[in-house]
Amino acid sequence: MMTYQTLLYYCYSYIADAEQFATDHLAFCKSLNLVGRIIVADEGLNGTVSGTKEACEAYMAYIKADERFRKTDFKIDDVDAPSFVKMHCRYKSEIVHSGLRDPNIIDPNKQTGKHLEPIEFQKMIDREDVVILDVRSNYEHNLGRFKNAVTLDIENFREFPEKINELAKYKDKKVLTYCTGGIKCEKASALLLHHGFSDVYQLHGGIIKYGKEAKGEDFEGKCYVFDNRIAVDVNKVNPSVVSTCYNCGKITPKMINCANPECNEHVTQCDDCGNDLQGCCSISCTSNPRKRPYDGTGYYVKVSQQVKAPATGS
């Protein structure tokens, strides 16, 4: 029986004195013995947290009790172990780094694409007047993506604005954007509208919610997630593997971070190459004196922090 949960969420809502909020929120999360990663900015919250079911329920209730965040949509996964080993809550300029910080141009609270629930999205993806746009980075869509999706050659979401001209040929189409949990689409769809795209949609709740409510149909491969699971299965209808080993080209669903911390590249890598290269993406990285021990997972953390199971009565 799984006794832990992992919560993925975001909320665009103005936070006064967001830096102090981040400090106080970290203390609150630690009081629940949660682990995870939360970004706080003036524009809102973006987080993934993990802990016991009781702690996660308490956290969700706390967030929704705050009027600023009452509409927060939590994506909930039952897991057999916490998905992080430490709790981080940091103040940053944006809750997803895009470089689009001018609220007069991009403000998800004022204008975004039309939100499609997973079942609505599913019904539209095969239409001839529709283009499916993946707004995630290379390493994410290399691991998994929707069938026939348009993908962009970007290393980080902040490069998305540079691709608007490449996308101009789709202005006469219905553009359906998607990402992992929905947060990138809020700004991506708003930017498309700003640049004259008239019929823009976004998958509400992202790939994760689509997997739960539409059984992930026609999502090919796995979905990259930003915790120690690295990748999760989405498709329960017609699953497939589309990713290939960065080193040998063999089909593989596995993704790692390079064991060389000065590289830390996200790559898909088969077990044979992982063992041969000790979890590194290249031979040169194997000689780095700071190379981390490879345990077969390809996920690395700095400090361990135990998450306690709920206390039981005697």
The Cα 142–Cα 151 span in angstroms is 9
Choosing from 29, 89, 179, 280, the catalytic residue is 179
CB 68 within 8 A of CB 14: yes
| Cα 70 to Cα 277: distance, rounded to the nearest angstrom | 47
CA atoms of 279 and 167, how far apart (whole Å): 36
Question: For residues 294 and 313, is the Cβ–Cβ distance under 8 A?
Answer: no
How many Å apart are CA 294 and CA 46, to the nearest integer?
30
> Is 86 within 8 Å of 25 (Cβ atoms)?
no
Q: Catalytic annotation on 285?
A: no
Cβ 12 vs Cβ 43: under 8 Å = yes
Q: Are strands 174-178 and 130-134 parallel, antiparallel or unpaired?
A: parallel
Active site positions, annotated: 179
